[in-house]
Amino acid sequence: REWCLALPKVELHAHLNGSVRDSTLLELAKQLGDKGVIVFEDVKDVIMKNGRSLPECFQLFELYHILTTDHDTVTRITKEVVEDFAMENVVYLEIRTTPKNNEAKGMTKQSYMNAVIKGLKAVEAVEVVLFDSNSRTDKPLTCAPSSELGGDVSKKKIYVKLLLSIDRRETTLAALDTVNLAMEMKDQGVIGIDLSGNPVVGEWETYLPALERAKQLGIPITVHCGEVANRKEIQAVLDFCPQRLGHVCCLNDDEWKKLKSLMIPVEICLTSNVMTGGAPSLELHHFADLYNVKHPLSLCTDDSGLFSTSLSNEYYLVASTFGLSKAELFQLAQDAVEFVFAGDEVKKTLRELFRRAEKELT
């Protein structure tokens, strides 16, 4: 476990509101309980429950959003989530989050994202690098841009990039708004689009115009795919050929064949899939098959708070379940660099970081 913690890691599939610390959720729930907005005792049990079905997860997200959706709280959870990932040696992090309109809180999608960025700037425990050195702008962001590694060894560095999620409950217009916002914020660390939300809600055709627009604009896309056995949609997603796919649990033989021939990198979320029933068990998880055929993969947490996991733990699970050696685990972590949405400068720096770490760790 210690070795997995020391391993430098790349996290490509982490939902902001699913990665919040339990202690923070409990504190926020207590405050809202004191104000009479919620009944704390009921909420406490829901937060602390272990093991959740997929529908229960989406009920819980409703609660998370009640607890977290005001600007200051969004800023706070962003700061904490980045610090938590950095503390376990995640060197590159793509956080995805759904920009939210909330009239009651005076919140727009834009102001929500501004609160997220404020959270990134508020991180003190580690140095947050938001820019590729070649795409830096003159915007007055306080996070020190740096591609130098090992300069200040007393402070860890973490690259953070943002993906904007389209929630499957949204309309075509709302999804287009999110893509436009991603375009407007591309100089502020936003580098991609995600499609997520309850997989039994909504139709692929609703989001397709927004995803097509993102494609036209050259914004990389990742899609939650095959969390449920929706044959028509899985086919459509594979035909659309996003830059990456999340989960890919319920594929049939033809769809596996197609995925493998397309070589679309897959964000593997072991604990999440087992807990929500997307995979029957760790041992029978599709990681093994994809790994054995050398399909491009990266291990991810999905919702480290919700599923009480960490990226180090996901690596440990792979080692203990599938018997990967340290050298193989290292290679798995290193390979993820090739699937990041950030540009070549960042990739180059990350490759160098892994080259240096290899000497110490293998």
Would you tell me which residues interact with ligand 5GP (CB under 6 A)? 15-18, 61, 97-98, 165, 167, 196-197, 199, 224, 227, 272, 302-303
Beta carbon of residue 191, minimum distance to ligand 5GP (angstroms, whole number)? 16
184 is a catalytic site residue: no
What sections of 89-169 are H helices per DSSP? 109-122
CA 76 – CA 73 distance, rounded (Å): 5
Q: How remote is the C-alpha of 239 from its chain's centroid?
A: 23
Q: Please, which residue, 54 or 183, has the CB nearer to ligand 5GP?
A: 54
Degrees (nearest 5) of the Cα angle 94, 99, 102? Answer: 150
The least distance separating ligand 5GP from the CB of residue 97, rounded to whole angstroms, comes to: 4
Question: Which CB sits closer to ligand 5GP, 18 or 192?
Answer: 18
In angstroms, what is the minimal distance from the CB of 10 to ligand 5GP? 19
| DSSP state string for 180-224 | HHHHHTGGGTEEEEEEES-TTSS-HHHHHHHHHHHHHHT--EEEE
Q: Which one-letter DSSP state was computed for residue 307?
A: T
Shortest CB 68 distance to ligand 5GP, Å: 8
Q: How far is the CB of 53 from ligand 5GP (least distance, A)?
A: 12
Which tokens belong to 130? 């938001």
Please check whether residue 267 is in contact with residue 298, taking contact to mean a CB–CB distance below 8 angstroms.
yes
Which CB sits closer to ligand 5GP, 135 or 180? Answer: 180
* Cα gap 150→157, rounded to integer Å: 9
Give the active site residue among 127, 227, 255, 314. 227
Q: How far is CA 31 from the centre of its chain?
A: 28
Q: Which is nearer to ligand 5GP, 219 or 357 (CB)?
A: 219
CA distances from 113 to 71, 76, 84, 180, 278 (A): 9, 13, 20, 13, 30
Q: Which is nearer to ligand 5GP, 6 or 46 (CB)?
A: 46
Q: Which two tokens stand for residue 319?
A: 């080692």
* Positions marked catalytic: 227
